[in-house]
Structure 1
Amino acid sequence: MKDAPAKHGTRARGSIALLRSLAREPLLHFVLAGFALFIGGEVIRSRNEVHHIVVTQQREAHLASRYQLQFGARPDAPTLARLVERDVEEEMLFRQGLALGLDRDDEIVRRRIVQKMRFLLEDLSAPREPSDAELNAYYQAHAEKYAAPTRITFSHLYFSRDAGDHDARERAAQALGLLSSGKAQVSDLGDPFPDRYHFSGYEAEQVYRLFGRTEFSSATLSAPLDRWLGPYQSVYGWHLVRVDARTEAQHLELVTVRDRVRTDYLLDAQARTNAAALETLAGEFTVVRERS
């Protein structure tokens, strides 16, 4: 037990001797000096880069082009000089703001950077023009998108629920009887409607937007032509309807909708390449979620 302090003292003296020996080693001095110079150089280089602004010819051309798009003519020399001066001022303020950390915790700045990164990904992975075979294959796979929709021309009579739902339905049924027997004119029946009474060439989706996905809308798509029918309920109340014409959905050839197919093909291709680029980027990150 008494030997333990002696052993510790011996180790301490050995460590001190080793440190003194290393301190006299020229190679260690050289390594430490080199490391210090490297760190100092990196700090100076970083600071110099932040405060070193180069106005390139490409940047001047970009400023001139942006001015021309806005005002319809290229800037003269004094105007371009002012544009460059203002651009340099903005760049100085921007860099100083970054140095001060003003971009941190700023939702607007964050959204803008995210938006620019999305644009950058799109620029780097823009899809190529499709071949005729690729367009045709895409068209065949999505043919339902390129059909001419069903169109309906119809008239209706409206019966308000102001006095109750049952009353509105009964008045509609009575009006249908009068019309069927020829004892009344259309203009003498029904209540005022907030929109029109006659609809020409409407697509099914337009009918749904106006009257909801109701039995009245379904009747316009399936009822026999040229006769008053009902009553049918909508989001407004009760109606009688007369369908004057109905053009069923028609298949459209590729040559007719080629531009639409090309646009949709490129949009879908862009979406796929964007997703792949994001997946590749995500592979470079580790996401850890803290648990409460």
Structure 2
Amino acid sequence: MRFKRWLSEPLVHFLLLGGLIFMAWEYLGDEPAGGEIVVSRGQQENLVQTFERTWKRPPTGEEFQGLLDDYVRQEIAYREGTAMGLDEDDIVIRRRLRQKLELLAADVAGLDAPTEEQLQTYLETHPDDFRLAPRLSFRHVFFSRDQRGDATEQDALTLLQRIGTDGPQGDFENQGDPLPLPFRLEDVREGEIERLFGKVFAAGLQGIPVGQWSGPVRSGYGMHLVFIEDRSQGRVPALDDIREAVQREWLSARRRDAVSGLYDRLAAQYTIRVEPVDGPAATAPSEGGAESSDAGRP
């Protein structure tokens, strides 16, 4: 009984665990990493700046000492863990190292500001990324299929014949049925029209001329007579109007190209061999698209 009680003591567990760690260290033949840890002025400034970005104020003396203590502990943990081989075959560390490598390549690529010619070329080669969507301003008269049934389309055509095709000269919207949507929409994108009325209605507006009543146009609610007041075609703005957006996209593409180019250059120094496997994975394409067991690229 005394032996079992002795084994249940936390102090005994701590001593046994410490002994196992010591034995493992001796077995691995590694000594603590040791050495000198220098917290440079630049590193201290970085700690302070990081704190200020997070808390919107400089750290107090006690908080700064805590930042220093945490940095030193982190450095000790890194050195001792590396000396013990804890970084080997660790997927989290592998991903972090990859992230740091790619961030370094991306940061270097973003050091130089683009020239006017580079921005203009990027805009001309990627016009769809900056194209303004077409916009419409229109009025409509709604006819509810739920209320009118089979007579919905004919009622719409009857009103269209009565008001003619000229501009809106009366309050014709009140001659239709209630709808929880505005009867006049101004300068709206086609995507917004599609969201409000559905794809069928948005597509039905394409062939309608500006400045006359037309229809009926079908929607998910029923039928509509439509008077298009104004239509602006989609266009690509001039560089001066969207310079900031073009520069942002140019920089993003430059960083992606820098990371891709880095891997291409580094991969040329390796021989990549993918061992054949049995089972379902054997028929699945590899990430790089290699079909054989040997590939020269990752």
Structure 2 length as normaliser, TM-score?
0.64
RMSD: 3.8
State how far apart, in whole Å, the 1-side matches of 2:87 and 2:145 are. 60
SS of aligned partner of 1:155: strand
- Alignment match of 1:276 (pick from 252, 261, 278): 261
Instruction: Tell me by how many angstroms 1:92 deviates.
Output: 4.2
SS of aligned partner of 1:229: strand
State how far apart, in whole Å, the 2-side matches of 1:93 and 1:287 are. 35
Q: What residue is the counterpart of 2:46 in the other structure? A: 62
State how far apart, in whole Å, the 1-side matches of 2:202 and 2:251 are. 35
Q: Is residue 192 of structure 1 aligned with residue 176 of structure 2?
A: no
State how far apart, in whole Å, the 1-side matches of 2:211 and 2:98 are. 58
SS of aligned partner of 2:33: helix
Instruction: Tell me by how many angstroms 1:274 deviates.
Output: 2.0
Deviations 1:118-138 (A, max 9, x none): 322312433632223333333
The aligned runs of 1:146-157 (5 Å cut-off) are: 146=130, 148-157=132-141
The aligned runs of 1:12-27 (5 Å cut-off) are: none
SS of aligned partner of 1:222: coil
- Alignment match of 2:152 (pick from 171, 181, 191): 171
The aligned runs of 1:190-229 (5 Å cut-off) are: 190-193=177-180, 195-214=181-200, 216-229=201-214
- Say if 1:173 and 1:231, in contact at 8 Å, map to a contact too: no
**Unaligned 5+ residue runs, structure 1?**
1-39
State how far apart, in whole Å, the 2-side matches of 1:272 and 1:160 are. 54
Instruction: Tell me by how many angstroms 1:67 deviates.
Output: 1.5
AA at the equivalent of 2:156: A
State how far apart, in whole Å, the 2-side matches of 1:117 and 1:160 are. 61
Instruction: Tell me by how many angstroms 1:63 deviates.
Output: 0.9
**Unaligned 5+ residue runs, structure 2?**
1-25, 164-169, 279-298
State how far apart, in whole Å, the 2-side matches of 1:201 and 1:270 are. 37
Task: Flag the structure with larger Rg.
Answer: 1
Sequence identity, in percent? 23
Q: Is residue 264 of structure 1 aligned with residue 249 of structure 2?
A: yes
- Alignment match of 1:242 (pick from 224, 227, 245): 227
Greater mean alpha carbon deviation, residues 221-230 or residues 179-188 = 179-188
- Say if 2:141 and 2:183, in contact at 8 Å, map to a contact too: yes
Greater mean alpha carbon deviation, residues 65-74 or residues 52-61 = 52-61
- Describe the shift of the 1:246–1:218 C-alpha distance in structure 2 as closer, same or farther (beyond 3 A): same
State how far apart, in whole Å, the 2-side matches of 1:94 and 1:168 are. 75
Deviations 1:224-245 (A, max 9, x none): 2343322323355543322122
State how far apart, in whole Å, the 2-side matches of 1:241 and 1:103 are. 69
State how far apart, in whole Å, the 1-side matches of 2:122 and 2:233 are. 24
Deviations 1:186-216 (A, max 9, x none): 22423534x44332111223333444443x2
- Count of residues in correspondence between the two structures: 244
Instruction: Tell me by how many angstroms 1:217 deviates.
Output: 0.9
Larger fraction in helix: 1
